[in-house]
Chains A and B, each alone.
Chain A
Amino acid sequence: MILLRAIGAVLAACLVVQAHAHAFLDRSEPRVGATVSAAPGELTLRFSEEIEPAFSTVKVLDAKGKRVDKADVRVDLADRATLRVSLEALGPGVYTVVWRVVSVDTHVTEGDFTFQVAR
């Protein structure tokens, strides 16, 4: 009975406390590891938590390490777990996305992935 109460209390805390977890990348557009036929004009990253934009960065690099995003990363006002950044006109090739975000409870997470624009 004590054990069940303890588990119940922690589970209740998960629901009641204004908790926010680490922000993990749920999905992106272009998708992680994907090959797209048309060059995207924008990169969208959807995280598992709301993001603090002032402390979050997203960079898109070409195969030579040159930055090809427009450094205008912003939170989607309709969904504060989504970050958007505009891209320059991308030619065929492999691009690396490097992100580092701070969720609204100050937890930091980071990651990177590639996508490819087909010839």
Chain B
Amino acid sequence: MNASYRLDLAGPTVDNLIIAWSRIGATLAVALSILPASALAHGLVGKRFFPATIATDDPFVSDELSLPTISSVRTNASGDEPASRETSVSGEFSKRITPDFGISLGAEHQHISPDGQPSIKGFGNVELGLKYQFYKDEAHETLLSVGLGWEVGGTGSKAVSADSFSTFTPTLFFGKGFGDLPESVPFLRPLAMTGTLGVAIPGRASTTTMTLDPDTGDVVSNVEQHPHVLNLGFAVQYSLPYLQSFVKDVGLPAPFNRMIPLVEIALQKPLDRVSDRRTIGTVNPGVVWAGRYMQVGLEAVIPVNRQSGRGVGAEVQLHFFLDDIFPHSIGRPLLESQL
């Protein structure tokens, strides 16, 4: 986030938002600290390591940095909008306040190249998040969390159509490893699934814009409805490290012994206010390689229908495990133990 970007902000400044968010986080941390919890490192539940996934948010709370996530997809023409290629570079920093409660800060720079028209670029809205891990069963490799995302309206560029209003997304997160399957199906035990279920709640039901009709000279009002949107995400993954370490050492050499093939599905469905409520989304097959301090993810992005895009896009992500890189400083929860 650079200075020139901050000057473009139409709403609250990023600095003020960070301070406000920190205060909210600290207050909630104290409130939540009376609940039972135990320390958990990035993505580990019992012997299961859940990698960070690209299209669906992770169910765990951790100290981590995704930087960068680069995505490139093509969209179809819609109404007056021409088809375009959309490329984004984003980053997200997540910080544990307590072992089970964390906050996050994300930003994205978008580059949109419409067919036959000049390119548009700018930052999208800043995204803040809270997440609390309320259930963990190590024996059954199960994890449940709840979170609240806040897309901060007015912090992005109008050039890339960043909303001037905020959107809040309460979300339920889950993670389930299948290491507890019977010994009779050993090669299914490296399977795991993570997912999210959330509803995006716009802070404004509609936006009315007034334009001048160049032919008649009349003032015309255009009303854009902002629906509630159901967000669903799933990631089905097969952990080769799990296979090697806990099921059967099949002799995979590096780098394959640290790879986790996966398929992500991310869907969005408008629930109200608009007539076209078709589901849009993508199916993203790919692979994550997880090392000691970082992981790399690479996925294809396949639209589920015409409304969702055109052709096959791609996403790549570099993700750092801050709890391993800085185990004695910023990689630890701010409040180490429960009060």
Contact = CB atoms under 8 A, between A and B. Distances in A.
Interface of A: 2-3, 6-7, 10, 13-14, 17, 19-22, 24-28, 31-34, 48-49, 105-107, 109-114
9 contacts: A13-B326, A14-B320, A19-B327, A21-B293, A24-B49, A24-B241, A24-B245, A34-B249, A109-B47
Q: Which secondary structure dominates chain B's binding surface?
A: mixed
A7 B318 contact: yes
B280 interface: no
B246 A111 contact: yes
Interface of B: 2, 41, 44, 46-47, 49, 65, 67-68, 89, 91, 183, 186, 241, 244-249, 292-294, 318, 320-321, 323-328
B249 A110 contact: no
Contacts of A24: 49, 241, 245
Q: Most A CB atoms within 10 A — which of B49, B247, B292?
A: B292
A33 B292 CA distance: 24
A19 B321 CA distance: 11
A106 B245 CA distance: 21
Given A26-B245, A107-B327, 17 more contacts: A7-B67, A13-B326, A14-B320, A17-B325, A17-B326, A19-B324, A19-B326, A21-B321, A22-B324, A24-B245, A32-B244, A33-B249, A49-B292, A107-B323, A107-B324, A109-B44, A113-B245
Contacts of B248: 32-34
Contacts of B324: 19-22, 105, 107
B67 A19 contact: no
A112 B325 contact: no
A10 B41 contact: no
A107 B49 CA distance: 14
A34 B2 CA distance: 55
B246 A14 contact: no
Contacts of A49: 292
A32 B47 CA distance: 15
Contact of A32 (B41, B246, B321): B246
Given A13-B326, A28-B249, A33-B248, A111 B47 contact: yes
A25 B67 CA distance: 28
A106 B68 contact: no
A9 to B, nearest CB: 10
Nearest to B65: A10
A3 B249 contact: no
Contacts of A112: 47, 246
Contacts of B292: 21, 48-49
A2 B2 contact: yes
Contacts of B320: 10, 14
A109 B293 CA distance: 15
B327 A25 contact: no
A92 B238 CA distance: 32
A110 B247 contact: no
A25 B2 CA distance: 42
Contacts of A19: 293, 324-327
Contacts of B325: 10, 13-14, 17, 19
Contacts of A109: 44, 47
